[in-house]
């Protein structure tokens, strides 16, 4: 080998060596993968699938509403530095932007795993804004769809940490078994109900309704901050009276004022139906336990036998 060629090869070898060392280091001093999850259900699946091999941080503080998340420069850096960012395109624009700018090659978009439905439009379309007819991001409220996302997380984690790929696959499989059981409980629990329409505060339950043969009528659109118009409120109120709706649902992370006012007006109770966009601080609940209490609430409200 000529000296010249050797001269070319040496830096190359050094570079490869440096990259490999860097990869090992990226698994963290603890040997765990650093994963950033954009909001709670994605944190839940990543923790279930990654087990002890990952350290998952959620970009949304416990008890905060995730739709309108704004990122601090520190959080953007966290996304850039992570081994993997798990997000859902179209749900949190600030996260979409940070991932596109800093983590394109090490990210998983849950929206590409589950083809999103074209906007689930509530019963009467007239009052909806044009921009609400986009894609509904609330896929996690169908447990079988969340299982699909878990499989994709397992694949991505396996690429980042090949030594434990089998473990991630097995964890995703175990989670699917759990989510299939939950799906079965919902199917049988909501099979025989007097009411089929749920009146909810924001348009989050399209996938749940779709899976279990319900219809949702939402006071506001796909994001909870939307102010309902007077016309929209009148429409929902009229529907609720005509159909003797006994419960209007509200959420834990957003204001319950509109839902409670409406419930009063139509002589209904107001109860919590949780879209699981976050878990309240200090709560011992997780995705499955909140879904179970949602099922109990729905069965009572809809008169299911």
Taking the complex as a whole, how short is the minimal distance between the CB of residue 224 and Zn ion, in angstroms?
6
107-109 vs 54-58, strand pairing mode: unpaired
> In the bound complex, which residue of the shown chain has the CB atom lying closest to Zn ion?
204
Return the structure tokens found at 283: 């709560």
Binding mask of the shown chain, residues 149 to 188, with x at each position contacting Zn ion by CB under 5 A: ----------------------------------------
Taking the complex as a whole, how short is the minimal distance between the CB of residue 274 and Zn ion, in angstroms?
11
Nearer to Zn ion, 27 or 141 (CB): 141
Nearer to Zn ion, 204 or 301 (CB): 204
Beta strands in 46-181 (DSSP E): 54-58, 84-87, 107-109
The reply on whether position 301 binds Zn ion by CB under 5 A is no
Closest CA to 182 of 264, 92, 296, 288: 288
Angstrom distance (rounded) from CA 285 to CA 267 = 31
Q: Are 271 and 247 in contact (CB under 8 A)?
A: yes
Total number of residues binding Zn ion (CB under 5 A)?
1
Nearer to Zn ion, 35 or 204 (CB): 204
110: helix, strand or coil = helix
The span of 25-33, 118-126, 204-212, 226-234 binding Zn ion (CB under 5 A) equals: 204-212
Q: Which of 37, 182, 204, 273 binds Zn ion (CB under 5 A)?
A: 204
Q: How far is CA 120 from CA 126, 229, 274, in A?
A: 14, 19, 18
Residues that bind Zn ion (CB under 5 A): 204
């Amino acid at each position: 080998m000529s000296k010249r060629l050797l001269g070319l090869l040496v830096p190359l070898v050094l570079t490869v060596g440096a990259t490999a060392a860097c990869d090992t280091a990226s698994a963290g001093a603890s040997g765990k993968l650093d994963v950033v999850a954009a909001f709670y259900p994605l944190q839940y699946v990543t923790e279930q699938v990654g087990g002890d091999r990952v350290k998952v941080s959620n970009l949304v503080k416990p008890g905060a509403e995730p739709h309108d998340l704004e990122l601090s420069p520190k959080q953007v850096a966290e996304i850039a530095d992570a081994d993997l960012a798990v997000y859902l395109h179209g749900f949190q624009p600030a996260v979409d932007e940070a991932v596109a700018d800093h983590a394109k090659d090490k990210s998983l978009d849950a929206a590409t795993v589950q083809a999103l439905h074209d906007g689930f439009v509530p019963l009467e379309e007239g009052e909806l804004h044009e921009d609400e007819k986009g894609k509904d991001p609330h896929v996690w409220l169908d447990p079988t769809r969340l299982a699909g996302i878990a499989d994709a997380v397992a694949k991505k984690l396996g690429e980042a940490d090949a030594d434990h790929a089998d473990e991630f696959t097995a964890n995703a499989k175990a989670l699917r078994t759990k989510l299939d059981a939950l799906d079965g409980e919902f199917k049988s629990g909501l099979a025989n109900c007097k009411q089929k329409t749920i009146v909810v505060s924001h348009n989050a339950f399209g996938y749940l309704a779709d899976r279990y043969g319900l219809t949702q009528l939402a006071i506001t659109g796909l994001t909870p901050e939307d102010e309902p118009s007077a016309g929209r409120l009148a429409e929902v109120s009229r529907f609720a009276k005509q159909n003797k709706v006994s419960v209007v649902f509200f959420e834990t992370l957003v204001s319950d004022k509109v839902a409670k006012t409406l419930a009063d007006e139509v002589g209904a109770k107001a109860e919590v139906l949780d879209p699981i966009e976050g878990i309240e601080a200090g709560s011992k609940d997780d995705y499955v336990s909140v879904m179970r209490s949602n099922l109990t609430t729905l069965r009572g409200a809809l008169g299911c036998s």
